Structure 1
Amino acid sequence: VQGMIVAFSDIVEMDKTGGGNIIQAAAAGIQVALLTTCFGLIVGIPAYIAFNYFSSVINSFVLEVEESAAELMEAVTLQLTLRESAWPSDSNPPDTR
């Protein structure tokens, strides 16, 4: 964007003064715009790849934690169910604290 602004600014300035080569002025601004775009892609593409990689790692970790939490809840529920079923309903289980 900056290169295009410079190019059009130079063209307007040349039009006001009536001298200079408009093609050279436009080419210089377009060159700046293309270089800026190129450097932006050089930075942006690896950053995008890294973002996707780390997002995948985080999602895998979250899934693993959720599965572990579900297994833990099942184990605790099973233990409580077994403990309650081991005692008659009219008596209380012993306090294990």
Structure 2
Amino acid sequence: MSSFLYSIAGGLLSNLIMIILYKSFKESLSIWTISVCGAVFHNIGQLLIASLIVQDFRVYLYLPVLMVSGVITGYFIGVTTNYLYNHMKKVPLINGLKELD
């Protein structure tokens, strides 16, 4: 059950942040920047639940390690998403659909 709580808290917080960033700053932020922010806030959400479960805020000492891994994985996923988005435009079925913007 605790794994579910960690995952759902991180997922909801990261999605909320990425939606806000995309809606507010889509002209000035790239998709990989939004992805990095989502990965960082996913880790923050997980640490928030961990600190509530163990009732100790010293779990935030692990935050620098998670920030480094969040930036690396967020960047990789953002670049991959951007690559796929640009190449999916060439697929006839996808090209005929309305854009998601």
TM-score (norm 2): 0.36
Larger radius of gyration between Structure 1 and Structure 2: 1
Task: Choose between structure 1 and 2 for higher RCO, CA contacts under 8 A separated by at least 6 residues.
Answer: 2
